[in-house]
Amino acid sequence: MEINSTFFFADSKVVLGYIGNEQRRFYVSVSNRVRRIRQLSRPEQWHYVPTDRNPTDSGTRSIPATQLSTTAWLKGPLFISKPTFNLSEPKPHCLVDPESDSEIRPKIAAFASHCSPVWLEGHRFTRFSTWKTVRRAVARLIHISQSFHRSNTNDDCNGWHYCNRPFPVEALVQSVNIIVQSAQRDIYILEFSCLSENKELPKNSQLRKLDPFIDNEGLLRVGGRSRKATLDHSDIHPLILPGKHHVAVLLIKHHHQLIHHQARHFTEGAVRSAGFWIVGGKKPISRIIHCCVVCRKLCGPTQIQKMADLPRDCLSFEPPFTNVGLYVFGP
Ligand SMILES: [Zn+2]
Ligand SMILES: [Zn+2]
């Protein structure tokens, strides 16, 4: 006989599910058997036969030889010989209740983190209340990220660790750049894309008047007309900071304290001489000084004391020098 095609039948939907499975993993015993079955046959060759029509059932039970011809043992199940029977379109078999099946390994998902080399999101800085702490935190983060790339295994600074070493100055300088860049990218994302494509800034952009440019470190700086001045680079091209951003508030507070709580013009000057240009800076500076507890104490109006009643001796009509008093306080 020439055999054109071969099909397999099983009355267990669980087993058919195992054979057809492509998604889940099994424990060793089932896994070995399924692998063996799949080496010898293809999953699409497998089909379901109801238990009452499965001929192998007759082989496992005692049955008199006279009745054997009435069973499916010799000819197979009846539906196979019907002309309408068609196996050319096999149905995929799914796993039966995989979550409660003890032979199937529980699903464990591992997520790969993909970080494009960008900036920290600005909302992270709202957790900090001073410029000093945010700088130190970012410097610490830089140190930790660098410690993953160290090849020297004897160094204590490897991977995640609590570091007792003092901050290197470079890390603190770098942290300022990262913080400023994050704040700039938060607010001026449109300006960044325009400048990087050498396009004109939109007409309603707050930065249009500042003639901004992106420096070598990817930071937005004020352009202006003083390029030929013999001043420091940060004086000619200060870093742009959005006045609404929390980082700008921390920076203003920091410089306001450094100049011992002087008025708005001095605070603004201190921020500028530190190399920052705060866009729309007057309002936030005024607001911060208005809320500053020390300034409220120093600049608040003096309170007026309510005077006590004058003593009787001052008010009675008597000859001069009857009573003599001396004011200890006052001019
Ligand atoms: Zn360390
Ligand atoms: Zn103050």
Which is more confidently placed, 92 or 12? 12
How far is ligand 2, taken at its centre, from the CA of residue 253, in Å?
Answer: 8
- List pLDDT tens digits, range 176-200: 999 999 999 889 989 989 998 988 8
> 212 and 249 in contact (C-beta within 8 Å)?
no
How far is ligand 2, taken at its centre, from the CA of residue 261, in Å?
Answer: 4
- Cβ burial, residue 147 (10 Å; 0-12/13-18/19+): middle
Over residues 12-19, mean pLDDT = 91
How far is ligand 2, taken at its centre, from the CA of residue 291, in Å?
Answer: 8
What pLDDT score does 319 carry?
A: 92
- List pLDDT tens digits, range 221-243: 998 888 888 888 888 999 999 99
Over residues 18-31, mean pLDDT = 89
Percent of the chain with pLDDT strictly greater than 90: 34
Structural tokens at position 131: 């410029």
Query: Rounded to two decimals, what is the model's pTM?
Result: 0.59
What pLDDT score does 4 carry?
A: 83
Over residues 302-311, mean pLDDT = 88
Ligand positioned closest to the Cα atom of 294: 2
Does residue 154 have a pLDDT over 60?
Answer: no
Does residue 153 have a pLDDT over 60?
Answer: no
Say what the alpha-carbon torsion angle 316, 322, 327, 331 is, to the nearest 10 degrees.
90
Does residue 330 have a pLDDT over 80?
Answer: no
Percent of the chain with pLDDT strictly greater than 70: 95
- Cβ burial, residue 198 (10 Å; 0-12/13-18/19+): exposed
The band of 152, judged by pLDDT with boundaries at 50, 70 and 90, is: low
Q: Alpha-carbon distance 168 to 171, whole Å?
A: 5
> 199 and 212 in contact (C-beta within 8 Å)?
no
| Total count of residues recorded for the chain | 331
Q: Where are the alpha helices (DSSP H) in the chain?
A: 13-20, 28-40, 56-59, 131-147, 169-187, 189-196, 233-236, 246-258, 264-273, 282-291, 293-299, 312-315
Ligand positioned closest to the Cα atom of 255: 2
What pLDDT score does 267 carry?
A: 95
How far is ligand 1, taken at its centre, from the CA of residue 111, in Å?
Answer: 27
What pLDDT score does 116 carry?
A: 65
What pLDDT score does 69 carry?
A: 82
Q: Which of 54-63, 271-280, 294-303 has the highest mean pLDDT?
A: 271-280
